[in-house]
Chains A and B, each alone.
Chain A
Amino acid sequence: MESNRKNVPQGAHAATAGGAEPNYINAHKGIWSWMTTVDHKRLGLMYLVGVLGFFAVGGIFALLVRTQLLGPIFKGASGKQEWLFSGETYNKLFTLHGAVMVFLVIIPSIPASLGNFFLPLMLGAKDVAFPKLNLMSFYVYILGGAFLLFSIFTGAVDTGWTFYTPYSSTTSTSVVSAVLGVFILGFSSILTGVNFIVTIHKMRAPGLTWVRLPLFVWAQYATSLIQVLATPVLAITLMLLAIERTIGVGIFDPKLGGDPVLFQHFFWFYSHPAVYIMILPAFGVISEIITINSRKQIFGYKAIAMSSVAIAVIGFLVWGHHMFTSGQSELAAAVFSFLTFAVAVPTAIKTFSWVATMYGGSLRMNSAMWYAQAFLFLFTIGGLTGLFLGTLSVDIHLHDTYFVVAHFHYVMMGGTMTAFVGALHHWWPKMTGRMLNEFWGKVSCFFVFAGFNIAFFSQFVLGTKGMPRRYANYLPEFQYLHQISTIGSYLLGLGFFITLCYMIQSLINGEKAPPNPWGGRSLEWETDSPPIEHNFHHQPVVTHGPYEFPEIDHSQAPRGGH
């Protein structure tokens, strides 16, 4: 066997498909071998299961929230109609929905599951730099999730995912447990970030120069930088909040001599960069899916790679755009508004570049590509509506209304989650060794896309009309839009349910996947599907860029070129 395997990267490695060597899934058996594994692929898979499980939990909370909003009509306090949930219950539901989705789903989604799985493979490495640390951050993640969900049984939290003081320092719900959960989750995030940074610096295969890195790796790199630099601020902030609640030291609560607005500065100093923790990995995924399915070089490799880094850096300086109504100084508000517009430029560059990449290509419209196009559509709306919110005078009207809710769902759900699901379709054959059903993949994409737009476009109108967010009931003039939105959310749920069904079907009796079903040129496609335990049979050597597909017609005068 060994002799007929040439590890030149061009080789399509069909030779290993015989399965003589066990793959990472069946190399070791038994639950214990999974619980103590330091294999980045197994950990990636375990994170994936965790993230998808929490996504289902968060999704159920979301559907409950939307169902409540079908009904209640405010009829003056005395004749108030309560439908389904009381105000208290509703507040707990939206808090849990937000906290689960942000801290347990979106932040770890792409980096922890797919990043762990594919980063070492793309680098031609055997594992991440610190495999044991990797195992530890997985357990820290589970522990943090347990704390967060444990709070449900001790009265739940009703502060919103933002934990604004002094409400959070005075409410009787179990804030400390939830905050501790988020605090612990932060460590998982930091540890993963450190691990990736070192891995990318130190473990690239021979010949894999920085400009030959797949853009997914660049995106992970920028993300990890933010994770390492910003998350400690969140941890300290939440610690201060817990200290204030437990031993009554006045930090944020004015009754104890604290400053409630200080909390907002601290919180957004983390949480604005955190929105880039959420979106940059998605940018990386989209760069991969679009190039590989267009059979072309990415348009403007350097511009895309550098704009990720630029976004990561400027993203640290715009947190005040969440606080335009909080009474911060005029000068501060103006600077924050200006810098917010400055981040929009690199974001626009990326979007233009993805579309331009398809020009002159030969597009394979598989279900991953469908999801990537859905991403372009939805993220464009999400990013453009950010401009309304970055504009000082207009944001005064829109802040804390459904317009903001719609904006961040377009970028986080329409952007990050769509890219994540697209990435699952793209890399599923590599991870599981099975193909997904293409037909049902497109059906689910259709439902997700249509349902999402119905659910959230209506919320832009609601917000513009003045509907505030976090309301358990509302004035009659808002009802029809809320009902449209709720119907959309059911369609969206249906779309994801279909995805779940054919993923399970694929695991049971899906068609066997070849090592390189999409004809990719980056290193993860050069090993078996699923990969062997140690990733590669030989140390791979890289002699070309990640997107040098054989279909590219070099007889046409090459243009551009970085």
Chain B
Amino acid sequence: MNLGSALGNMMAQAANTASWWKPMQASSHAVAVDTLFNFIMYLCFFFFVLIVGAMVYFIVKYRRKGSGPERTSPIKGNHTLEIVWSVIPGILLVLIFAWGFKDWLAIAVVPANAMEVRVSGQKWNWTFTYPKDGIVSPDLVVPAGQTVKLVMTSTDVLHSFYIPDYRIKRDVIPGKYTVLWFKPEEEATHQIFCTEYCGAEHSNMLSKVKVMSSAKYEEWIANGGEEAGGAGVPLAEKGKKLWEQRGCVACHSIDGSKKVGPTWKGAFGTARQFADGSSLPAADENYMRESILVPNAKVVAGYPGVMPSYQGQLNDKQIEALIEFMKSLK
């Protein structure tokens, strides 16, 4: 039955729902990968049944029974058989290699008319920058039907950018750019994972691809990277969302508990002691803004100076929202 449904998969166009064992097929590339995956899988079934079938058959047939005299065959080998079982798998393997190479070249070569988005990986979140429009976003928002080229780099350690629904993945490397492309077909939301181990919150380094109609996408751009309807949401609430999405949550609690960095509960408006001995009577907007953009300008006493800079990764609106959120945490 599963075999049947898998076979159905193979014949089908892109399947736009996930099955019990495969992610949805959100691009023509996903269909190509699955077709070859299935082909290899059937070959494997065949050879597995051949090997294990022969093994079980021999065990049943030649198991030593009773205590009669044991006589066994003097066979030591068989050249014809050995050549057959080297050459046939050999040919099949070359076939799989060539097929995989062909499909892979299609991902390796980026089409000409692609829209470019810059991706920055940082412990432990993704930042998407739209160079033409000056937008910075925690999610990858793209219009349906438009080929997208991602130019990726990391600000710290290795990460790897993986979208299962498109069957694509590429390492994100500090000091180097790597490229990935895809063509979203339909409006949908897809999961993004980090698949190169990068530390404590590696498994929370998640994001989404949001494929919109071109009209909605234009609106999103015009809104400066806010989804339609975003206008009515209070600033503090947007700040809370950013706190989660941009990974501040990994180091800053909002319930008073101490993590890597100081809690945000009651942080705004209270006095500060710094590691260099200086102090501040009340933390205000300017101090908070500086802490986000140039964290090491003033390091809070008792904490390590490990906070990364968000210069170029958060725009003014987003910083405002974050500070508004901090203010709301009394």
Contact = CB atoms under 8 A, between A and B. Distances in A.
Contacts of A170: 156-157
Contacts of A561: 76-77
A393 B107 contact: yes
B204 interface: yes
B125 to A, nearest CB: 10
A10 interface: no
Contacts of B103: 392-393
Give the one of B74, B82, B101, B169 with max A CB within 10 A.
B74
Interface string A184-201: 000000000000000000
B292 to A, nearest CB: 18
A327 B171 contact: yes
A303 B164 contact: no
Interface string A466-479: 10111111110100
A131 interface: no
Contact of B74 (A164, A166, A554): A554
A359 B76 CA distance: 11
A91 B199 contact: yes
Contacts of B200: 86-88, 91, 158
B160 A325 contact: yes
Contacts of A303: 77, 82
B77 A401 contact: no
A159 to B, nearest CB: 8
A87 B194 CA distance: 15
A327 B97 CA distance: 19
A294 B76 CA distance: 13
Interface string B306-325: 00000000000000000000
Contacts of B89: 344-345, 348
Contact of B59 (A325, A358, A401): A358
A497 interface: no
A358 B54 CA distance: 9
Nearest to A327: B178
Interface stretch (A144-152, A226-234, A372-380): A372-380
A352 B62 contact: no
A384 B97 CA distance: 14
Interface string A148-165: 000000000011100010
Nearest to A470: B197
Contacts of A358: 55, 58-59, 62
A562 B75 CA distance: 10
A551 B158 contact: no
A559 B23 CA distance: 52
A478 to B, nearest CB: 11
B96 A341 contact: yes
A384 B48 contact: yes
Contacts of A399: 169, 195
Interface in B178-236: 178, 191, 193-204, 206
Nearest to A545: B76
Contacts of A365: 59, 63-64
A45 interface: no
Q: Taking each of B54, B103, B157, B201, which has the highest tally of chain A beta carbons within 10 Å of its own beta carbon?
A: B157
Contacts of B106: 393
B12 interface: no
Contacts of B63: 363, 365
Nearest to B96: A391
A552 B37 contact: no
Given A330-B108, A393-B100, A394-B100, A299 B168 contact: no
Interface string B9-53: 000000000101111000000001100110011011001100110
Contacts of A364: 64
Interface string A308-319: 000000000000
Given A166-B158, A294-B72, A359 B62 contact: yes
A549 B72 contact: yes
A30 interface: no
B23 A295 contact: no
B174 interface: yes
B176 interface: yes
Interface in B123-160: 156-158, 160
Q: Which of A300, A387, A471, A561 has the most CB of B within 10 A?
A: A387
Contact of A362 (B62, B156, B157): B62
B5 interface: no
A393 B104 contact: yes
Contact of A360 (B75, B197, B199): B75
30 contacts: A78-B244, A80-B204, A164-B158, A260-B173, A261-B176, A297-B76, A299-B76, A301-B77, A302-B77, A327-B171, A327-B176, A338-B97, A341-B94, A348-B47, A355-B58, A377-B52, A385-B44, A391-B99, A392-B103, A393-B32, A393-B36, A393-B107, A394-B40, A465-B23, A468-B203, A469-B197, A473-B203, A553-B72, A558-B75, A559-B75
Given A299-B76, A391-B96, A468-B162, 10 more contacts: A78-B240, A87-B200, A297-B74, A327-B173, A330-B105, A362-B72, A381-B48, A466-B191, A477-B18, A562-B77
Interface of B: 18, 20-23, 32-33, 36-37, 40-41, 43-44, 47-48, 51-52, 54-55, 58-59, 62-64, 70-79, 81-82, 85-86, 89-90, 93-94, 96-97, 99-108, 156-158, 160, 162, 164-165, 167-171, 173-176, 178, 191, 193-204, 206, 240, 243-245, 247, 249-250
Interface of A: 74, 76-78, 80, 86-88, 91, 158-160, 164, 166-167, 170-171, 254-255, 260-261, 294-303, 325-327, 330, 333-334, 337-338, 341-342, 344-345, 348-349, 351-353, 355-356, 358-365, 373, 376-377, 380-381, 384-385, 387-388, 390-397, 399-401, 461, 464-466, 468-475, 477, 549, 551-554, 556-562
